[in-house]
Structures are given as structure tokens and as C-alpha cells.
Structure 1
Amino acid sequence: MPQPRRAGLAIAAGALLLALVAPPALAQADTPIADPLPDPTPARLALVLQEFAAMPRSESVPPPTDSRLKRWARITYLGEVPDRSGRLFVPDLNGKLYFLDRAGNPSEYLDVGAAAGPDFWSHQGLGSGLGFVAFHPRFASNGTFYTVHTEGRAALTTKTPDLPAPPNGRLHSVITEWTADDPRAATFGGSRREVLRLGFQSTYHNIQEIAFNPNARPWDRDYGLLYVAVGDGAAGAGGTVPQDLSVPQGKILRIDPKGTDGPGGKYGVPRSNPFAGQSGRLGEIYAYGLRNPHRMSWDTGGAHRLYIGNIGEHRVDSVYEARPGDNFGWSHREGPFAYRKADNPTCGVFPLPDDDAAHGYTYPVAAFDHKPSAERPCADSGNALVGGFVQRSWRIPALYGAYVYAEGVGGRIFASRVHDMRRGGEPATTYHLPLIDAATGAATTLRELAGHPRVDLRFGTDRAGGLYLLSKANGKIWKVIDAVPVR
């Protein structure tokens, strides 16, 4: 890369900075903190969004009673098929996997819901249905990809989870391996096999994402290993599930889908995992102590760090840098604070105890807090962090080196500088990025673009590092085509 341009990018990235961060509000040792973190700082940059695609309308079967599931299309991600064809893929929780051409035209590639049969569950639970898709890095030659979906009904009594599960569970999350006869085909034809089945006590916080490390090369020990972000099954508040190393809930797992030493010989347990071979601990666990690790992504530049976007309980949502063996503290910690459910009528967080260092928790590198109502402090605040990506595309120099994420319900876009996201330090400043509609040149919001106050925002990316925004509200996808100074 030419040196003059690199220097210009460094200056542009610094444009995100506006002011020093105010310290968290002080509190007495045993007093809940009323306002844990500063409000997001207005950024000097605005993202320019161009509409890229409109997805087909879909519905859950049977029709949901929860209004939050009554969306145009419950699209969850956009990625690029790793075969140099330029095809993009988008999964819909209601059951179908779509391919998009370079112009954004969608076509159905595979109906996972239909293949799963009558046990397929998509009408209850915000993340239920076809949750995520991960293509093997050698898909072009081996035709292999993986999906995760949820099952209920007869599956709860006729099928057994592979790892410890709560009794009388309400849902299974199932990872399936699909092998296409012709990887170049426009629709799937081939075989499938079940890789991993986990049980959960509720219809919330199940397996949220599956992914391969995009930085791993064939000679790396991480190559071809599948990371699995597993929620606590809504069992973590005041409980011990996320801290229990004998169960998979509330963890990041890492498995070898081509291995055979796991349960039933369906997958392998990498020997490089931090607890592999240890009695009473699941060898599949990579990191633990999470409530709802909704999204994860790797920085494709810099130190190639893995970032986890975790949705908190009542007050704090966090971004963690994850390393093998990390304990993120839930449900004893929420973000960089102590969490105590007992004797806590305001559902707040507390200052860390004096002996905190002895516990060995890993704290977030970025975070924002919720502002619950004074009348109902323990009610759902309607906020949820959606993890995104570190921008390493030179096409938008002003965003280079920024981790872009969001409050997904209302659709506010945030960013933090990776340079400031340091383990062991204070959370990096969270900047709020305004938006511009490329079609009109006018300032806008995702609520305006989605036509609904509940945006249900998700992120996507292509192999060139392009950033995409998806909304379940109207099924539209926008591409970030520029980042310009705010006037």
C-alpha cells in the first residue's frame, strides 16, 4: 500500500475522537451504580448507506404470537461464499438460506426448515429457527457448509443432546453439516449429517453463531475448526451455569467438525483447547462466563483478535476480546462491574470488590449501558448489543481500524477504535455514528430506512471487507459505501 495513503488513513481514523471519556459514576461499595457508563459520544463521521437488496417476505410456522417475531424477513447475516464466485448468502430464521448475486438479487439455495421436518422450531424465541450458516474455507472443492437451527416438539423426547443438558428442556440447537454434490450449483443438492445437538431450558439464548476463523491458513492449527457461540439458555441470572465447566451453556466452544473423538464420533475435540483432556471439564470449551454471546468476529488485520458481542441482563452490554480459557464472569460480573441478583431491587450493577483480581475475570474492551425506567427498573430495556466487524477495507479510509457494532433493536450504529480496545484497561470510547442516505444525500436513521421503530439490525461483510446492514423490519440490506465528515 502506498505510504502517503496509509498516513492519510491514520489521520482519518483519528477523526472518530471527540472528547475524553467521563469516568463511570461513583458508588459506595454495596450500592448499585445508577449510571454505570458514559453515554455514547457523537462521532465526527457519518456512514453513507446505499440500498443493496430486498429479501423475500417470510413467516414462521405456526404464526407467532410474539409481535417481535412478526417481521418482513428474519434475516440474520450476510456473508460471501468462499469460492471466488462473488455470491453472497443470507440466512432467514424462518428457515431458508438465500444466495445473492453481485447485484443483490436473491434466490433460494436451501430450505433448512423443510429439511429438518416438523420438529423445526421458529415461532417462539427471538433466535429460534435457522440461526446461522458457516461455509468451510474449502467449500469450492469440498462443498461443505454448516448450519445451526432449533428443534422442539418430538425432538425433545426422541433425540438426545450430545453434551449435558438441563432436564425437561424446551429446545434443542442442532449443528448440521451439508455437502453439496456441485459447489457451483445455484440450488443445493447433496447430503447432510448431524454434527452437534445441545439442549436448553428455554427458547432463548441458544446457539447464536457458528464460524470459522478467516485468518487461519491450512498449515495453522486453527484451520477448519468451528467456533460455536452458545448462550446460557436464560439460566444465568444469579445461577452457576455459565461458570460450570461441565456444561456447554454460556460458553464459546471450538470443535473439529471433521474429527471423530467427540460424542458418537460426529466431531473432534481439538487438543489445543484449554480444557481438553481435563477431568470434569468439557474439552470443547474455548472460553466461558457469557450470558448471550450473540455475535463474534475476527479482526482480519492487526493482531487478528477475536471479538465477542455479549448481550447483558439489565444494565451493561459488552464487547470482549476472547482468548483460550477466558472467563468473562457472568453471572457474577456484568461487563466491568459486579452483578448480584439477591437484594437488588433496582437490577443494577455494583463496584468490583477489593479482591477482584483473585477471581481472574476478563473484562470488556468496549461496552455501553441501558437506561431502564425508574418505574420498572428490572423490565427489559429493549436494548441489545449486536457485534459487528473491525473495518480493514481501504475503500473507506476514515473507518480503517474501527470496530463497528450497534444497539440492534433501535438501530443505532456505534464504533470504537481497536487501538483503544485494550484488555485490562477501561472500555474504549463508544462513538455514535450518524447515517446518510446515498439516494437523497440527506441525514437519516435506520428507523426511517426500515420504516419501523424496531429495526432488528444485523451486520454482514464480504471478502473485501465491505460492511452491510440488515433489517428484519422490512427485509432490506444496505451497504456502507463511504464515511464522511459530519458538517
Structure 2
Amino acid sequence: MKNWQIYVGLSWVLFSCEKSAENNNSPEYSTEPAQIQAGKTLFETHCSACHSFTQTTIGPNLSGLTREVARDWIKKFIANPSKLIDAGDPRAVSLFEEYKSYMPAFPQLKEDDLEDLLAYMHTFSERPKALNAKAITNPIPESVPDSGIELPIEFFAQIPASDSIPPLAKITKLESEPNSGRTFVQDQHGVLYELIGDEPKVFLDLKALRPKLISKPGLATGFGSYAFHPEYPQNGLLYTSHTEPGGTAPADFAYADSIPVLMQWVVTEWKTETPEKRPYQGEGRELLRINVVNQIHGMQELTFRPKAKKTDPDYGLLYIGIGDGGSAESGFPFIADHQGRMLWSSILRIDPQGNNSKNGKYGIPDQNPFVAEKQKAGEVFAYGFRNPNRIFWDENGQMYATDIGHHQIEELNLIEAGAFYGWPLREGTFVINPYGNMNEIFALPEDDAQLNARYPLIQLDHDELNAIIGGYFVKNGPFKGKWLFGDVPSGKLFIADLSDSNSPEVKRWSASINGTKIDLQQMVGGGRVDLKFGQDATGQLYLMTKKDGKIYKIKS
């Protein structure tokens, strides 16, 4: 894979200016405490998930930026980075080539907001020195081949807009209730729809039932996921996860008071006496509440193992994927690096009908891997993930999870009970230093076996995709039996043969409409596609574009 941009070149483009530093800062940025505080609030709300002033994270380190880059350019880039990139602006293009993703636009920020934001950023004047170590600049040189296969897609449904700026409808999960085959799709702004044919009908208005739900500033916040109990037609039980502001209620899982809490993730059990009816009418009870440092890497997956039988040990047990809550990139990597002692960066497994947890609201299954170890969290099934955003099983009952990476590597992991998957000490099969520049990765040490980490079944670097999203097994057509996945920002499409557990083959594929090959970025009008996938009870696969809230059928 080609290394698109050498760091030295990026540094020159990012921090050189057409204007001198003197002209760049004339008039001077405000030093008024109230304005700086307002800018700090804006930064923590809109920027801190991807940027810091101590290291390069998802995006560039911003310390010293206001002294080295023209103020008007910074404002234009914040307001609409895609416009500058698409216009060929050298600095914007270089940033895109280095980080391989469009930064979200912030058209809602007014001129006064931008001045407040820059006043705060201007208080960080010095850039940290780079580590004196040999980092790997091109971790996976090989490119993913193109299969040459095009699968037709056709427009299926439009989800109502829940925002005035993209993504217009934050649709992230489309699946069926396993018994009835009724199909649902949720918008992270707080609504679960039932698809009646191609018409979305409100099934559960979570925002109305939980008015403290917040779905901004985006990045997977809001209505995170849903899961119907395997006996839903009989017991009417439905499970949801959502975010509320930090401090809304006492958390079941917290950390030191000195560490910020931007949000809390909440798991709720809903019960109705009329499971066959729409809209959902029932009562909810909170199962657990967990603090997170910021809005990224939250609780994006709730699921029961499909096709589990009543005699199976995990029948009726709820799996929960929760990332590190942005703790590593925010300077608190020890929250993620817990070795099974805490819940963050983990796949959890609980019995929602039990009561032997510390809060007495759910059960910890006896067969969980750490249930007998007093120093570890009994809820943890596996740990060491940055963002385990999707969990799924193959026909043989083997469990997998996708894990969205930091700056270099995207992962698909084969999941086994009690295993450690590396984060925040590893990114794929590479060393990452969570206490240093997390933009850099290094070769594994000779004594790597001592870490006892499990490494990905599939790993791809950011020359190929920027944020992995799975993904379902294809039932028919040229990709029958293979696993379909893609890239959230760009909409690139991939297929993998997971039957080879040693070295699964990965290939690219393309979509077409009416016989014409299409580019998903162009289809949605440029910028971020915000790609997601879905599958209904019949095995029909769907492609979803959050940017415009559209759902397409994949005709395999």
C-alpha cells in the first residue's frame, strides 16, 4: 500500500503559511478569559474526540497551529473541509492524504464561535517533540486486490431526516426480530423504526421516553444499539443503549473524580405486554450506567447470539460491545489498559434476567471467564478493544468482532472467552505507545509473547480503509458464504473469506445502479458516506448511507 504522504512533507504543508506569523496573528487572538472558556467548551464538544494539544490522535496535533497557519484558512477548514479538499487546496489535500478521511464539517459554528474556538487553541503555543524512535511508516505494503465483481444495488427506503446537516439520518443498524421477521432500523438521534415494506414507521421513540438522551456532537453518540430478546414474542423484552450527559445519574462504573466525564452510556430493558403492536408501549428499567471520557468509542453494539438454542450456555445472554470511551487518546490510557479489571474496551456478557451484579439489576453468568477472579470484572467476556462496534457469529457459532482502529490499523478479530486483544498497547500486530505519540506504530518486540495478546484475523491499514464496519455473511450470488464489510467514511466495499482461519482472502468489490458502476462518495454528493450495512430475516443484505439517510438493497 502506497504511503501517501511523508510526515515531513505534511508538516511543511500544515504548518507553513502564505502569511508571516506576524500577519497571521493580526489582529491578535482574544485573551479574554470568558472567550477562552467559551472556546474550551466548543473544543471539548466538537473537536476533542479527534484532536489534542499533546499528541497526534485521529487528527493532527493542534498545539501551535494558530501561530503557524493563517487564521482565515483555519476557519474555512473547520466550516467545510470537504470544500477545500475538493477544490484542491494544497494544505487540505495533504491533510486528507495523510489521515485518509474527511473531517466532519461544522457549518453550525458562527463567526463568534470560531473566534472563541481559535482564542482557546491559541493558548497552546508549543508543539511536542517527536519521539526519537524508528516508527513504521507503511505497515502493510500489499494492496487489497479488486475482485472485478459488481453487485447491483437499488434504492429501498428513505429514513426521515432528524437533522438539518449531514448525516441527515444517523441510521446504523438494520436487523430483524428473530421470531417474527419484523425488520427494524434505528436513528441515533433517538428513534427505532419498523420497516413496513419500504416505509419506516416509528416503533420506539427513545428520545421521548428518555428526554435526557443526547445525540450530539455525533461520533456514535445517542441511540447506540438495540437487541430483541430471543423470546420477544412471549416476554416483550427489548434492550437499548444510549448516551446522557456526564453526571446525569450515579454511574455503576466510574473512575477517579479528577478525570472528566463527558457522557454516560446507559443500558435499558424495555418490557411490553403487547409485543405484536406498534408503536411500542411499555416500561423501561435501567440495567447499568457507565461513565466515559468523551463521545467516541462508546456502546455501539447490543446483541444476542442468533440461532442459539435453549440448551446452549449463552442462550438469553446479552453481549455488549463498549470501547475505551476515548480514554487512551484523551491521556488516560490506564482506563483502557485494565487487564480485565474494568468494563471499558471490552465485550461484556450479562444475564439481563439475573440479579447477582453489584447493583442487583442484572446477572453475571457463571460461565463467564473471570467470574471466579476477585480482582477482575465478571461481566467481561473479552477485552483489549478500542471500539468493538459490531459483534457477529458465523454458521458454526464462531464469534467475531470488528474493531475500529486509531491512526493505522483496522481489525477483524476472532473472539474467544477471556482473551486480550491488545489495545491500548497494540494496534493490530504493531506496538503503539499510549503515553506518547499514538500516531506512530512500531514492530513487535522479541518478547512479545509475554503480553499474551490475540492478534487480528484480518488487519488492513489506512491506505485501504479508515474505519471498518461489518458486515454480514452473504447468502447467495458470487460472494455466497463470504463476509461483507466496508469503510465508514469513504464507502469502499470489501469481501472476505473467513473459512480460512489462518489467512482470510480479502478483495474489493463495486456497486452498480441500473448497470452503471457507481462511487458511493459521488452518489451521496461527496465527503463522508457514513456507510453501514444491514440484513433482514430472509438474508437480504442492505447498504445504508447515513449522510442522506437512504437504504439500498444489495442484489447478490
TM bracket (short chain): 0.7 to 0.9
Partner of 1:254: 349
Whether the 8 Å contact between 2:267 and 2:288 is mirrored in structure 1 is yes
The one of 361, 381, 395 aligned to 1:266:
361
CA distance in 2, matches of 1:441, 1:341: 47
Partner of 1:241: 335
Give the ranges of 4+ consecutive aligned residues of structure 1 lying more than 4 Å apart after TM superposition.
341-345
Match of 2:172, SS state, is coil
**In structure 1, C-alpha distance between the alignment counterparts of 2:457 and 2:148, rounded to whole Å:** 22
**Higher RCO (C-alpha 8 Å, min separation 6):** 1
Query: Which of 393, 400, 403 is the aligned partner of 2:483?
Result: 403
- The structure 1 residue matched to 2:402, chosen from 309, 321, 324, is 309
Q: 257, 261, 266: which is aligned to 1:174?
A: 266
Percent of aligned pairs with the same amino acid: 35
Question: 2 CA distance for matches of 1:55 and 1:312?
Answer: 29
- Any idea what the Cα deviations from partners look like across 1:314-337, whole Å, max 9, x if unmatched? 000100010101111011110111
Aligned residue identity for 1:54: Q
Larger Cα-atom Rg: 2
Aligned partner of 2:358: which letter? Answer: P
Q: In structure 2, the residue corresponding to 1:397 is in which secondary structure?
A: coil
How far the C-alpha of 1:363 sits from its partner, in A, is 0.6
Whether 2:493 is the aligned partner of 1:413: answer yes
- Cα 1:89–1:170 shift into 2, 3 Å: same
What is the TM-score of this pair, normalised by structure 1? 0.82
- The residue number in structure 2 matching 1:436 is 512
Deviation at 1:166, TM superposition (A): 4.8
| 2:132 corresponds to 1:56 | no
2: CA distance between counterparts of 1:334 and 1:88? 35
- State how far apart, in whole Å, the 2-side matches of 1:48 and 1:441 are: 7
Aligned to 2:178: 82
Distance 1:449 1:307 in 2: 31
Q: SS state of the match for residue 442, structure 2?
A: coil
Aligned-residue offset at 1:277: 2.6
Among 536, 539, 553, the alignment partner of 1:462 is 536
Count residues with an aligned counterpart: 419
SS at 1:252's partner residue? strand
User: What SS does structure 2 have at the residue aligned with 1:448?
Assistant: helix
1:328 alignment counterpart: 421
Name the counterpart of 1:44.
148
What is the CA-CA distance between 1:341 and the residue it aligns to?
4.5
In the TM superposition, residue 342 of structure 1 has moved relative to its aligned partner by 5.5
The CA distance in 1 between the partners of 2:350 and 2:308, in whole Å, is 15
Cα deviation, 1:22-63, whole Å, max 9, x if unaligned, reads: xxxxxxxx632221122221113222212111111112xxx8
List gaps (5 residues or longer) in structure 2.
Answer: 1-132
Equivalent-residue separation in structure 2 for 1:434 and 1:382 (angstroms): 15
Q: Work out which of the residue numbers 100, 113, 135 in structure 2 matches 1:32.
A: 135
Amino acid in structure 2 at the alignment position of 1:434: S
Q: TM-score, normalised by structure 2?
A: 0.72
Instruction: Provide, for residues 358-389 of structure 1, a one-character-per-residue CA deviation record: whole Å limited to 9, x for no partner.
Output: 22111111121114xxxxxxxxx992111212
- Correspondence 1:128-167 to 2 at 5 A: 128-152=221-245, 156-167=246-257
Residue aligned with 2:441, SS: coil
Query: 1:446 & 1:465 partners in 2: Cα distance?
Result: 23
By how many angstroms is 1:296 displaced?
1.4
Which amino acid in the other structure matches residue 523 of structure 2?
L
Who is 1:348 aligned against?
440
When residues 343 and 252 of structure 1 are mapped into structure 2, their CA distance, relative to the original with a 3 A threshold, is: closer
Secondary structure of 1:358 counterpart: helix
For residues 343 and 248 of structure 1, do their structure 2 counterparts lie closer, same or farther at Cα, with a shift above 3 Å needed? closer
Q: CA deviation at 1:457?
A: 0.7
> What's 2:526 paired with?
452
**Contact conserved, 1:164 with 1:247, CA < 8 A, in 2?**
no
Q: Give the 5 Å matches for 1:105-116.
A: 105-116=199-210
Question: Is it true that 1:192 corresponds to 2:284 in the alignment?
Answer: yes
Partner of 1:19: none
1:378-426 Cα shifts (integer Å, max 9, x gaps): xxx99211121222x2xx2321221111111110111111123x2xx45
SS in 2 for 1:77: strand
CA–CA distance in structure 2, aligned partners of residues 246 and 224 of structure 1: 24
User: 2:529 touches 2:546 (CA, 8 Å); kept in 1?
Assistant: yes
Aligned-residue RMSD, C-alpha: 2.0
The answer to whether the Cα contact below 8 Å between 2:172 and 2:532 also exists between their aligned partners in 1 is: yes
How far residue 448 of structure 1 moved from its aligned partner, in angstroms, is 3.2
C-alpha distance in 1 between matches for 2:307 and 2:328: 32
Q: Unaligned stretches of 5+ in structure 1?
A: 1-29, 372-380, 483-487
Query: Within 1, Cα distance between the matches of 2:229 and 2:424?
Result: 34
Q: Alpha carbons of 1:172 and 1:110: their partners in 2 closer, same or farther (altered >3 Å)?
A: same
- Partners of 2:226 and 2:436 in 1: how far apart? 42
Report if aligned partners of 1:41, 1:429 keep a CA contact under 8 Å in 2: no
